[in-house]
Amino acid sequence: MKNELVIYRGKHGDVKLKADWRGDTVWATQEQIAQLFDVDRSGVVRHINNIYKTNELKKNATCAKIAQVQLEGNRKVKREVPIFNLDMILSVGYRVNSAKATEFRKWANTVLRDYLLRGVAVNQKRLN
């Protein structure tokens, strides 16, 4: 099921990810992650590969494949496309270099600080 998730609130408003909810996480393609942080997809791919290479995350726990069908000329072409869960989206956000990624890191650090110092981090919008 497709839904919008507010990943973080930046100075120019909410930064939203249109993603696919499955189970207890959200899934996004490399292109969606690149759009979220306003970077090139090739950079996202490089960071994902490095995240796996350093064993920060495990591929079998953070990556799945979905079939995508697209028209190429007059024929329908079906391809398997990797999708990545929220753990990967967050890890990439801590690695990429862009203004949106910097805003994300500032927001994430504030949430983590609240959790560590107050013992709780509240998403007021979701509670309402």
128 residues of the chain, pLDDT tens digit each = 455 555 556 666 666 666 566 667 788 899 989 988 889 999 999 999 999 999 999 999 999 998 888 788 888 888 888 999 989 999 999 999 998 888 888 888 888 888 888 887 666 665 56
Task: Output the pLDDT for position 1.
Answer: 40
Q: Amino acid identity, residue 70? A: Q
**What sign results for the dihedral spanned by CA atoms 60, 101, 26, 127?**
positive
Is the overall model pTM greater than 0.95, yes or no? no
Q: Amino acid identity, residue 24? A: D
H or E segment and range at residue 125: helix 124-127
Q: Find the helix packing angle between 99-118 and 86-93, rounded to 10°.
A: 110
User: Helices (H) and strands (E) in the chain — how many of each?
Assistant: 6, 5
**CA 116, CA 128: separation in Å to the nearest integer?**
23
- The CA-atom distances, in angstroms, between 109 and each of 9, 48, 118 are 12, 21, 14
**CA 88, CA 78: separation in Å to the nearest integer?**
25
Domain residue limits at 57: 2-127
What is the tally of structural domains in the chain?
Answer: 1
